[in-house]
Structure 1
Amino acid sequence: MLCVNGRQVLLDCGLFQGRRNESYQRNANFHFDASKVDAVIQSHAHIDHSGKLPMLVREGFHGTIHATHGTRDLCTILLHDCAHILSKDAEFLNKKRMRNKVRGSRKGNAPPTNAEVMPLYLDEDVDETLSRFLSHRYGEWFAVLDGVRARFHEAGHILGSAWVEVEATEDGEMRRIVFTGDYGRSGLPLLRDPEPFVQADIIISESTYGGKTHPGFADMQQELADAVKRLVARGRGRLLIPAFAVGRTQNILYELGRVFESGAAPKVPVIVDSPLATAATSIVKNYCRYYDDEALEQLECIDGRAQSLCPGVRFTESVGESKLLNSHPGPMIVLSASGMMETGRILHHLANWIGSPNTELLVVGFQAEHTLGRRLAEGAKEVSILGEHYQVGARLTTMDGFSAHADQQDLLRALKPLAKHAKILFLVHGEDGQRRPLSKNLKQAGFERIEEPVEQQAFRI
């Protein structure tokens, strides 16, 4: 949050994501008065950056939410999906609470006093939130408040993602602030590369992979082609790809299209079985103007809309159509959400196919602790899916190259040129093991003051 001339501006308003009870406890309250926030500048649509916007509105926010057109469109589907998940989570926690209450009564213990869990927000809160959005083009200055103006620059992370340049004037002195949001990678398939940062007095930078180096894109493309060739060689079965609905699914579709068109692997049926991924792909196809030159050469765009990211891909339209995939002998490629294999149709595909040696599970995204995806990625031989136990007979392959986050070298290249001018650099959005190596390297690059703020910590600058 920025406080300028007694007014408050939020830079993103994200939802903590983790296990149900922990997530609910951490998300249940703001550490500030929502009604006193005057404006929000939204860097991109991912739920860990946008997911509490409807709660902000529900608790009294009456200002404007500034975003790019792509971010606004993606928030339309993501926030409604999040409201649905939050309602289901509240229902689960209440059932668990009642079971514990009954058990306590049977044992003669006093019943628990914890109150009924209510969803953090509902669909009507999302609708009201979306009415507060004001969309802007990249590079266009817009007024946020008196004395505060901002503009968005391409971040190259997902469709519509931006890093934000803010100019704030107080007591006649102007300070320039750069907020990276989630900064992308140069050369990431499909979308344009991130723009370089401008010189700034204050920098607020993500550090998600500040201690890691990603594999190169050429390696990633070859690994994907090899997985398709293994599927074809088996002559049956599935290449099952759990993927995040926004960003990852579209990147993989595009890369599969390149693999097929180049002849690097034979064409096989590709099915996207995720309503959210289907909706997100439709939105991404509307924004050819944000594609990189290579994508514009490969894809057919008519009136600014891509006809397909992967020739021949099929999108399921119903639960019944999804279930019919189980009777298909293959070979086929199925992309389904969720990427960490905790919710969604991917669980039903895993339950049906995880035991088969004719299945290859291609893990293409980060798998958080305590998730089914993490257990499988770590080599579990038996897993619980939808309350049933299954032996793992499928081949598992992990590909790290699809990450849309800048790695250490990307961040160093982007931030080093700002070292001489910057008065202070804040490193956020990263675990200690990622922030600290990045901080060490940036100090060596010449940044005089680097802070790693904790929740609710305030700085006067």
Structure 2
Amino acid sequence: MAKLTFHGAIEGVTGSSYLLETATAKILLECGLYQGRREEEKQNDNAFPFNIGELDAVVLSHGHLDHSGRLPKLSADGYKGPIYMTNPTAELLEVLLKDSASLQRSDAEWENKRRRRSGKDLIEPLYTAEDVEETLTQCVGNCYGKRISIVEGVDVCFRDAGHILGSSIVEMFITEGGTEKKLVFSGDLGNSYAALLSDPEVVEEADVLLLESTYGDRNHRPMDETLEEFEDIIVEASKNGGNILIPSFAVGRTQEIIFRLGQLYQKGKLKQQAVFLDSPMAIAVTEIYHRYQNVYNTEDAAALGQSKKSSLHTFLPVLRYSTSTAESMALNRIESGAIIIAGSGMCTGGRIRHHFKHNLWKRNAHVIIVGYQANGTPGRALVDGSTVFRTGGEEIFVRAAIHTLGGFSAHAGQSQLLDWVSNFKKPHPRLFLVHGENNAKIALQKHLASAGWSAEIPTKNQSISF
């Protein structure tokens, strides 16, 4: 009998981690960072709650750090086995984990400056660039839809989740005593109205199902309304001459925004002189997106064109990359007519803060918020109407127009989650809700009950047998 233990993304949406144990193997499903409040992030320093030396394999649904970000720590602590994922995820991990290691180093250096002043012991970063390099040698990329054997008695198949490039629904087939059981992990399911990627694949059978519930308590604003407002902002800004600043996440959201700007360009609605992507990380990710156009949905792939040279660049000819610091600084000499996309998505760091310094005080400037802004972040303060933005010890008066667009989400909303689950045949699998705040899980649980499902909400470190 197989055993599954819920180690992470149980009391919130980050730190994804589940341990599958069979008669012949131990497999870790996900190895994510805890993100958010300081007390949550402190959990990243904790020892793993299982014997790393007994692990036979690791399986990863996609590249976002709340699912993958502790892999280098796992390698540094002694895991030397394979890590299975899709091919695009393997490429994205090189970008994401190297950036994460750089941030870990910077955070440790900043903290140690404070500790030296107070005479406290110094700390080490969670992991190093060398740990990341070791992790990358362990990655094994796979195609969608191909069932592979990863250890004796356990096969894995990745299905397209439509969340970010390479994201997958993980099917795990466990054979014991001549009987096969199937565990399905939804991963993060995509928003079917988002650009470029396909809708989440339908899965019809499972014995145990782990379902994400990030937006289990609400639906997203309709995409047509979001795009209409997006167009109105772009047109208004072109008339009054101000620059447009878009804080954006490097993976998924940036590529969606570039595609939507391309649609406006093709319609003749984009009058701005240039669109600048000012994020080395987002540039690297966008190039990976170009290499995997075979996974795009049919409609958007057709819009981009079928030639080998087709890309977001050809769809949006005014797109420019700003790779160096000097190129980024040069953008601040542009008084009007530019759209600047830069990280970080919640305005906590990155080049967007530099551009705010030069534009946020201008009455003809515009800021378009296209992603979730967590409580306590500078981006959330702008959304909530703050009149002052603080950066680098300076206070900048906010005179620019702040626009918040709620429809650009890479996650399935409540109704989309319910629609995806409705494809499972009866008898229903045993269903567990993960990756959600308590209110989201409880709301989704109630809606599932109305549809004839008995959904369970696991507790941290709870184990089940099946």
**TM value normalised by structure 2:** 0.92
Question: Aligned partners of 2:174 and 2:444: how far apart in 1?
Answer: 27
SS in 1 for 2:158: strand
Identity %: 39
For residue 98 of structure 1, what is the amino acid of its counterpart? R
Counterparts of 1:283-298 in structure 2, within 5 Å, are: 283-298=288-303
For residue 383 of structure 2, what is the amino acid of its counterpart? A
Question: Aligned partners of 1:24 and 1:326: how far apart in 2?
Answer: 37
**TM value normalised by structure 1:** 0.93
Task: Identify the range of structure 1 (166-175 vs 67-76) with the bigger mean alpha-carbon deviation.
Answer: 166-175
Counterparts of 1:238-257 in structure 2, within 5 Å, are: 238-257=243-262
What is the match of residue 55 of structure 1?
A: 73
What is the match of residue 341 of structure 1?
A: 347
Deviations along 1:279-313, one digit per CA (max 9) or x if unpaired, are 00011011110111122222135438626252220
Deviations along 1:379-406, one digit per CA (max 9) or x if unpaired, are 1112321222222111111011110100
For residue 392 of structure 1, what is the amino acid of its counterpart? V
What is the match of residue 274 of structure 1?
A: 279
1:198 counterpart = 2:204: yes
Distance 1:350 1:267, change over 3 A: closer
CA contact (8 A) 1:155 1:163 kept: yes
CA contact (8 A) 1:28 1:120 kept: no
What is the match of residue 386 of structure 2?
A: 380
Counterparts of 1:10-29 in structure 2, within 5 Å, are: 10-19=28-37, 22-29=40-47
Question: Aligned partners of 2:188 and 2:339: how far apart in 1?
Answer: 29
Match for 2:434 among 410, 422, 428? 428
Counterparts of 1:178-193 in structure 2, within 5 Å, are: 178-193=184-199
For residue 90 of structure 1, what is the amino acid of its counterpart? A
1:79 counterpart = 2:85: no
What is the match of residue 82 of structure 2?
A: 64
What is the match of residue 91 of structure 1?
A: 109
For residue 259 of structure 1, what is the amino acid of its counterpart? L
Counterparts of 1:162-241 in structure 2, within 5 Å, are: 162-235=168-241, 237-241=242-246
What is the match of residue 109 of structure 1?
A: none
What is the CA distance between 1:421 and its match in structure 2? Answer: 2.3
What is the CA distance between 1:420 and its match in structure 2? Answer: 2.9
SS in 2 for 1:230: helix
What is the match of residue 123 of structure 2?
A: 117
Match for 2:304 among 295, 299, 315? 299
Match for 2:50 among 24, 28, 32? 32
What is the CA distance between 1:191 and its match in structure 2? Answer: 1.2
For residue 191 of structure 1, what is the amino acid of its counterpart? L
1:454 counterpart = 2:453: no
What is the CA distance between 1:25 and its match in structure 2? Answer: 4.3
What is the match of residue 142 of structure 2?
A: 136
Deviations along 1:48-99, one digit per CA (max 9) or x if unpaired, are 1111111111111121111111100100111000000011111111122223
Gaps of at least 5 residues in structure 2 are 1-18
What is the match of residue 5 of structure 1?
A: 23
- The structure showing larger relative contact order (alpha-carbon pairs under 8 Å, at least 6 residues apart) is 2
CA contact (8 A) 1:210 1:437 kept: yes
SS in 2 for 1:131: helix
SS in 2 for 1:418: coil
Match for 1:44 among 49, 53, 62? 62
Deviations along 1:363-387, one digit per CA (max 9) or x if unpaired, are 0001112111111111111232122
Question: Aligned partners of 1:305 and 1:83: how far apart in 2?
Answer: 33
Question: Aligned partners of 2:309 and 2:456: how far apart in 1?
Answer: 43
What is the CA distance between 1:431 and its match in structure 2? Answer: 0.5
What is the CA distance between 1:21 and its match in structure 2? Answer: 6.8
Distance 1:434 1:304, change over 3 A: farther
Question: Aligned partners of 1:143 and 1:280: how far apart in 2?
Answer: 29
What is the CA distance between 1:18 and its match in structure 2? Answer: 2.3
Gaps of at least 5 residues in structure 1 are 102-111
SS in 2 for 1:417: coil
Distance 1:63 1:368, change over 3 A: same
What is the match of residue 319 of structure 1?
A: 325
For residue 415 of structure 2, what is the amino acid of its counterpart? Q
Question: Aligned partners of 1:316 and 1:182: how far apart in 2?
Answer: 31
What is the CA distance between 1:327 and its match in structure 2? Answer: 1.0
Distance 1:387 1:32, change over 3 A: farther
Deviations along 1:131-171, one digit per CA (max 9) or x if unpaired, are 11111111000112111101011100011111011111223
What is the match of residue 394 of structure 1?
A: 400
Match for 1:408 among 382, 406, 414? 414
Question: Aligned partners of 1:53 and 1:324: how far apart in 2?
Answer: 37
CA contact (8 A) 2:357 2:396 kept: yes
CA contact (8 A) 1:203 1:422 kept: no
CA contact (8 A) 1:287 1:305 kept: no
Question: Aligned partners of 2:416 and 2:347: how far apart in 1?
Answer: 29
CA contact (8 A) 2:25 2:152 kept: no
CA contact (8 A) 1:200 1:421 kept: no
